[in-house]
Structure 1
Amino acid sequence: MSQRQVLQVFEQYQKARTQFVQTVAELASRPQNIETLQNAGVLSLLRPLLLDVVPTIQQTAALALGRLANYNDDLAEAVVKGEILPQLVYSLAEQNRFYKKAAAFVLRAVAKHSPQLAQSVVDSGAVDSLVVCLEEFDPGVKEAAAWALGYIARHNAELAQAVVDSGAVPLLVLCIQEPELSLKRIAASALSDICKHSPELAQTVVDAGAIAHLAQMILNPDAKLKRQVFSALSQISKHSVDLAEMVVEAEIFPAVLTCLKDPDEYVKKNVATLIREIAKHTPEGVVQLAIALSEEPEDHIQAAAAWALGQIGRHTPEHSKAVAMANVLPKLLQCYLRAEASEDLQTKSKKALKNILQKCVHLSSLEPLLHDAPPNVLKHVVGQFSKVLPHDSKARRLFVTSGGLKKIQEIKTEPGSALAEYVNTINNCYPEEIVK
């Protein structure tokens, strides 16, 4: 047999391996093929190809494994039991950028399903190798590594701590400063996944300087990036007064209010969550919104502030009190009644008033509205007095001396209406001679 014939055997073998992994990777991208591939023993056939002498075969084998592991937790478990992870981890340090992206994809696909599978990825030593990939020159490798680290961290505090202990956080903060949009998004998402579990983990992210860089991206035109930015800032703010104040000190509120008019519904939702998380811990969020409501010249920003205040005030009596004490209710009423105000501002102001009033039991904040509110708002104001006065003797005395009870007698009501019932409930709290 000639040398050429001998070499031809090897060429045919290489072609067959190449065709096999490419076909399997293609088949694995379609859910209807997964069970058949699994029953055919595809995992045990792909594993040795991760060590193939031909780089493209290695990469395509890893891609196929990632697609299989991504499909369900049974296949991800099979990848773990097949002892494939150590080989991938080893290759992350040794191979080229194409292989590193594919290997990180497999690790992410395994980690996403459950804390137990994510722990298997950690136990394989993958976290340290993925962190090294965050320092690669190629943005695609960084992106794949950041994505995998985020999927590990999202499950629980212990797994997030493992990611933090590996030194990932400062590198993820560097990644959000890179020019590539997709890398910014995924790095911000990973930071959010780390922050969400505990104040200590959130503080680690803050100490790495994340807030300032996240704040700079609030007005980025990319909606997906803005969602991740607001999510990360919310996860930081939710834990404590100190963390919420650090976010506020980044002077984010003018930009945040602008984003409440964003056409992307998820951006608006994430903005509202951020505002609520800040308002839970510090009145500064409410103060900033109150300033915007009274000082911003543009109706659309006032409307956004009104909407946000309504979202805060609707939660609990404590939240509504914080909003009411910022002197927001008269300002909302002015916006609602202003003839030249936009329809959007009037609608949102009216809705915010209703949301806040239905929870507010801070009567001294409500009393000015007795004199100024139109009937459709007055109904809600009087309703709150009718809830509190029967059970609070001090409030009853103050209501007489402040002239509130006198004002109630001046309200014209239709017999049988809700407003008439509220007025009767209040009058019944007092002796007849005081009412007269």
Structure 2
Amino acid sequence: MSQRQVVQVFEQYQKSRTQFVQTVAELATRPMNIEILQNAGVMSLLRPLLLDIVPTIQQTAALALGRLANYNDDLAEAVVKGDILPQLVYSLAEQNRFYKKAAAFVLRAVAKHSPELAQSVVDCGALDALVICLEEFDPGVKEAAAWALGYIARHNAELAQAVVDAGAVPLLVLCIQEPELSLKRIAASALSDICKHSPELAQTVVDAGAIAHLAQMILNPDAKLKRQVFSALSQIAKHSVDLAEMVVEAEIFPAVLTCLKDTDEYVQKNVATLIREIAKHTPELSQLIVNAGGVAAVVDYIGNTKGNVRLPGIMMLGYVAAHSENLAMAVVISKGVVQLAITLSEEPEDHIQAAAAWALGQIGRHTPEHAKAVAVANVLPRLLEAYLRAGATEDLQTKSKKALKNILQKCVHLPALEPLLHDAPPNILKHVVGQFSKVLPHDSKARKLFVTSGGLKKIQEIKAEPGSALIEYINTINNCYPEEIVRYYSPGYSDSLLDRVEQYIPA
């Protein structure tokens, strides 16, 4: 065999290997091919190609493995069991930037599926190698490493702490300052995944100076970047008063409020979530949001959105109103009750109705004035319907019942209470009758209206236990009227009158 023929054999072998990994990488992009590739033993065929002498074959083999591992946890598990991870980690330190990106992609694809698989990535020493990649000159390598670190950190506090301990946070904060948009996005997302688990982890990110750099990007025109920025800020703010105050001190208000009208739905939702996480902590933080025009902006936001996007806005109004009478009145003045009432009636999902019911209860529980503002929006029959509806979730029933009780304990606006006399079950009826017993002794107009609207007649029909609070309320109401009027509206009175007619003998 000539030298030329020998060279041709090797060239053919290299060409075949190249063609094989490229074809597998291409096939792995389509879900329909995954099972066929798996059954053909593709993992064991790709593994030696990670050590190939030709760099492009190594890179393409890694890319194919990443695509397979990304597809499901069984394939990711096969990567772990095939002892492929140590080779990838070694290559992260030794190989060129193209291979590093592909190797980081495989680590990310394995780590994303479960805490156990992410732990396997950590156990093979990947964190140190990935953190070193954050210092690479090439932004693509940094991005791939940041992405993998975020996917490891997102599962639980222990994995996030491992990422922190490897020294990732200061380098991720540097990455959000880089000019490349995609790198900024992924780094902000990774910081968010670290922050979310505990106040201590969030504090680590804050101590690295992240807030100021994130706050600078809230008006960036790139929607995908803003999604991650607002997510990271809300994951910091949610844990404690101190952390929320640090976010506010970055002077994000009133600028963030403009983003409630962003064209991107995820940006809108993440902004509303951030405002909610700040508002929930203290009356002072809620007041700051009110002063910036935040309540009116959130009420508009609820009016312009639907479904789960609405949810953080609904919760924010409830948190603000819960803090104090004045803050609850700020929600009323901003037409928050009207918007929550619309949400309660038009949203099909029980969990969103439950949130609206809870928020309305927080507004109405303070004073008769607050309760009236909720009651005149025709909310009480809707809350009662939600509480009594067959098939409603336990959460919706519980929150509707609690909201009804909160409002009824303060509501002295009798026209709004009247419909409940005819529909409410005994446990709610007690509160309704109790409110009438408070108002009627002192209000002659209300007493007359109570008779003409049928309220007094309804009261006589209620069967109450002797000695109960309900019978006491009924007696208090009856004592507001002449005895013959009460008797006239009592059940059976017309029959007794007819009996008297029959028995009457004219003189």
1:260: Cα distance to partner? 1.1
Is the contact between residue 260 and residue 304 of structure 1 (CA under 8 Å) also seen in structure 2?
A: no
Is the contact between residue 184 and residue 225 of structure 1 (CA under 8 Å) also seen in structure 2?
A: yes
- The structure that has the greater radius of gyration is 2
Structure 1's 271 and 291: CA in aligned 2 closer, same or farther, altered over 3 A? farther
1:282: Cα distance to partner? 2.7
Structure 1's 393 and 274: CA in aligned 2 closer, same or farther, altered over 3 A? farther
1:3-152 to structure 2, matched below 5 A, reads: 3-152=3-152
The normalised TM-score by structure 2 is 0.60
User: Whose RCO is larger (CA < 8 A, sep 6+)?
Assistant: 1
Provide, for residues 150-189 of structure 1, a one-character-per-residue CA deviation record: whole Å limited to 9, x for no partner.
0000000000000000000000001011111111111011
Number of positions where the alignment pairs a residue of Structure 1 with one of Structure 2? 436
1:303: Cα distance to partner? 24
Provide, for residues 19-62 of structure 1, a one-character-per-residue CA deviation record: whole Å limited to 9, x for no partner.
00000000011000001101111100100000000000000000
Structure 1's 210 and 316: CA in aligned 2 closer, same or farther, altered over 3 A? farther
Structure 1's 74 and 333: CA in aligned 2 closer, same or farther, altered over 3 A? closer
Q: Does 1:302 align with 2:353?
A: yes
Provide, for residues 178-214 of structure 1, a one-character-per-residue CA deviation record: whole Å limited to 9, x for no partner.
1111111110110010011111101100100011111
Distance 1:261 1:344 in 2: 30
Is the contact between residue 195 and residue 202 of structure 1 (CA under 8 Å) also seen in structure 2?
A: yes
1:373: Cα distance to partner? 27
Structure 1's 378 and 82: CA in aligned 2 closer, same or farther, altered over 3 A? same
Structure 1's 292 and 135: CA in aligned 2 closer, same or farther, altered over 3 A? farther
Distance 2:86 2:383 in 1: 61
Provide, for residues 346-397 of structure 1, a one-character-per-residue CA deviation record: whole Å limited to 9, x for no partner.
9999999999999999999999999999999999999999999999999999
Structure 1's 11 and 296: CA in aligned 2 closer, same or farther, altered over 3 A? closer
Provide, for residues 119-170 of structure 1, a one-character-per-residue CA deviation record: whole Å limited to 9, x for no partner.
0000000011000000001000000000000000000000000000000000
The normalised TM-score by structure 1 is 0.69
Deviation above 4 Å: which 4+ runs of structure 1?
Answer: 284-436
Structure 1's 151 and 315: CA in aligned 2 closer, same or farther, altered over 3 A? farther
1:420: Cα distance to partner? 21
Distance 2:456 2:253 in 1: 40
Of residues 78-87 and 275-284 in structure 1, the stretch that sits farther from structure 2 once superposed is 275-284
Of residues 299-308 and 337-346 in structure 1, the stretch that sits farther from structure 2 once superposed is 337-346
1:6: Cα distance to partner? 1.2
1:172-187 to structure 2, matched below 5 A, reads: 172-187=172-187
Distance 2:240 2:450 in 1: 37
SS of the residue 2:254 aligns to = helix
Is the contact between residue 258 and residue 304 of structure 1 (CA under 8 Å) also seen in structure 2?
A: no
Is the contact between residue 293 and residue 331 of structure 1 (CA under 8 Å) also seen in structure 2?
A: yes
Structure 1's 8 and 209: CA in aligned 2 closer, same or farther, altered over 3 A? same
Provide, for residues 404-429 of structure 1, a one-character-per-residue CA deviation record: whole Å limited to 9, x for no partner.
99999999999999999999999999
Is the contact between residue 233 and residue 274 of structure 1 (CA under 8 Å) also seen in structure 2?
A: yes
SS of the residue 1:253 aligns to = coil
SS of the residue 1:367 aligns to = helix
Structure 2, gaps ≥5 residues long: 284-334, 485-504
Provide, for residues 318-347 of structure 1, a one-character-per-residue CA deviation record: whole Å limited to 9, x for no partner.
999999999999999999999999999999
Structure 1's 242 and 25: CA in aligned 2 closer, same or farther, altered over 3 A? same
Structure 1's 270 and 313: CA in aligned 2 closer, same or farther, altered over 3 A? farther
Structure 1's 195 and 272: CA in aligned 2 closer, same or farther, altered over 3 A? same
Structure 1's 75 and 120: CA in aligned 2 closer, same or farther, altered over 3 A? same
SS of the residue 1:360 aligns to = coil
Distance 1:330 1:192 in 2: 42
Of residues 170-179 and 306-315 in structure 1, the stretch that sits farther from structure 2 once superposed is 306-315
Structure 1's 348 and 240: CA in aligned 2 closer, same or farther, altered over 3 A? closer
Q: What residue number does 1:328 align with? A: 379
Structure 1's 368 and 277: CA in aligned 2 closer, same or farther, altered over 3 A? farther
Is the contact between residue 386 and residue 425 of structure 1 (CA under 8 Å) also seen in structure 2?
A: yes
SS of the residue 2:59 aligns to = helix
Is the contact between residue 279 and residue 285 of structure 1 (CA under 8 Å) also seen in structure 2?
A: no
